[in-house]
C-alpha cells in the first residue's frame, strides 16, 4: 500500500483521477468527526498518512496522535502535536484542538494535490511565501488559478479546479470558526467531480467525432480518447478504523 504522496512522482495525471483521490479520503475523516462516539480528531492528517490500496482506494492511516473529543466541550486542551506545514495555526497558538484542525490539514492536502507542490518548500514559493497556504492564497485571491495548477495535469475543467481551490482556501482560514465542516467540504468536492466528469464526457464526445471523421479522411488521425472511466479512482468510504484509547 502506497501513500498519496507517491502520486506526485507521476509526470502526468488526469484531473478526474486527482479529484477522486481527494474525495476518497474524506468519508473516512467524516466518520472520525461524526460517526464515532465520542468523535475522534486525527491531529496529523498529511499526504503520507493517506494510503492507497491495490485498487487505488484512499484510506486514512496513522492514528498515533489522534485525540478523543470530549462530549459537550468545544475543544480539547492538548500539548501541540502534528506536522509542520499541515498544523493548524490556531491550535498551535491556543493549544485548543478541534475537528476544524483536521479540516485545516485537509485543506493543505487539497492544495498539494492540485498544485503538485509540497506543503513546505523554500525553493518553490519564493521569498514572500513560507508555505503552500501563503503561496496559493496569493495566486487564488489575485484570480491566477493557473499559477498554482500542476502543469502536468491534463484535460481539466477550469470551473471544477476553481471550486476545489476556493474550498481549500476556506479550509485553511486562520480561525476554525471560519472553516467549513468536513461534510461541507465533501459536498463541494463532489460537485467539482460532477463538473469534471461532465466536461470529460464532452471531451470524449469530441474525440469520438474526430475519430469518425478520420475514418473518412486520408489523414488517419485515429482515436483521440482523452480519458476513459478506468482512469478514475473509486470513492470508498472505508477507513482503517482506529482503536479507541
Q: How many CA atoms lie within 13 A of 35 on its CB side?
A: 14
Other beta carbons within 10 angstroms of residue 99's beta carbon come to 22
Cβ-contact 27, 64 below 8 angstroms: no
Domain 2-231 has CATH 1.10.510.10: yes
Residues 6 or more apart whose Cβ sits within 8 Å of residue 168: 107, 108, 110, 111, 114, 136
pLDDT recorded at residue 69: 84
Cβ-contact 185, 8 below 8 angstroms: no
Residue 61 dihedral angles phi and psi, to the nearest 5°: -135, 180
> Positive or negative CA dihedral for 55, 58, 62, 68?
negative
pLDDT recorded at residue 131: 92
pLDDT recorded at residue 201: 63
Catalytic site positions? 44
Enter the pTM of the model: 0.73
Per-run averaged pLDDT (10 residues), the chain, 245 residues? 45 47 64 86 89 74 85 79 95 94 94 90 78 92 89 79 90 96 87 75 55 35 29 32 40
pLDDT recorded at residue 204: 61
pLDDT recorded at residue 179: 97
d(CA 77, CA 70): 10
What residues does each domain of the chain span?
2-231
- The x, y and z cell numbers of residue 187, run together, are 459536498
Amino acid at each position: 500500500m502506497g501513500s498519496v504522496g507517491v502520486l506526485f512522482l507521476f509526470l502526468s495525471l488526469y484531473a478526474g483521477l486527482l479529484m477522486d483521490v481527494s474525495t476518497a479520503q474524506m468519508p473516512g475523516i467524516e466518520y472520525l468527526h461524526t460517526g464515532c462516539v465520542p468523535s475522534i480528531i486525527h491531529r496529523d492528517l498529511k499526504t503520507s498518512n493517506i494510503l492507497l490500496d491495490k485498487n487505488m482506494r484512499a484510506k486514512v492511516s496513522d492514528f498515533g496522535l489522534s485525540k478523543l473529543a470530549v462530549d459537550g466541550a468545544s475543544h480539547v486542551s492538548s500539548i501541540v502535536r502534528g506536522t509542520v506545514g499541515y498544523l493548524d495555526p490556531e491550535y498551535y497558538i491556543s493549544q485548543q484542538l478541534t475537528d476544524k484542525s483536521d479540516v485545516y490539514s485537509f485543506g493543505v492536502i487539497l492544495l498539494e494535490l492540485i498544485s503538485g507542490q509540497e506543503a513546505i518548500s523554500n525553493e518553490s514559493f519564493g521569498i514572500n511565501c513560507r508555505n503552500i497556504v501563503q503561496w496559493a492564497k496569493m495566486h487564488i485571491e489575485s484570480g491566477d488559478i493557473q499559477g498554482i495548477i500542476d502543469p502536468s495535469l491534463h484535460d481539466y475543467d477550469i470551473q471544477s479546479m476553481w471550486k476545489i481551490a476556493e474550498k481549500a482556501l476556506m479550509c485553511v482560514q486562520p480561525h476554525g470558526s471560519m472553516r467549513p465542516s468536513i461534510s461541507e467540504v465533501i459536498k463541494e468536492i463532489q460537485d467539482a467531480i460532477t463538473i469534471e466528469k461532465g466536461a470529460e464526457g464532452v471531451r470524449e464526445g469530441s474525440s469520438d467525432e474526430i475519430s469518425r471523421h478520420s475514418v473518412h479522411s486520408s489523414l488517419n488521425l485515429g482515436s483521440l480518447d482523452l480519458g476513459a472511466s478506468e482512469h478514475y479512482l473509486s470513492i470508498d468510504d472505508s477507513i482503517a478504523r482506529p482503536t479507541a484509547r
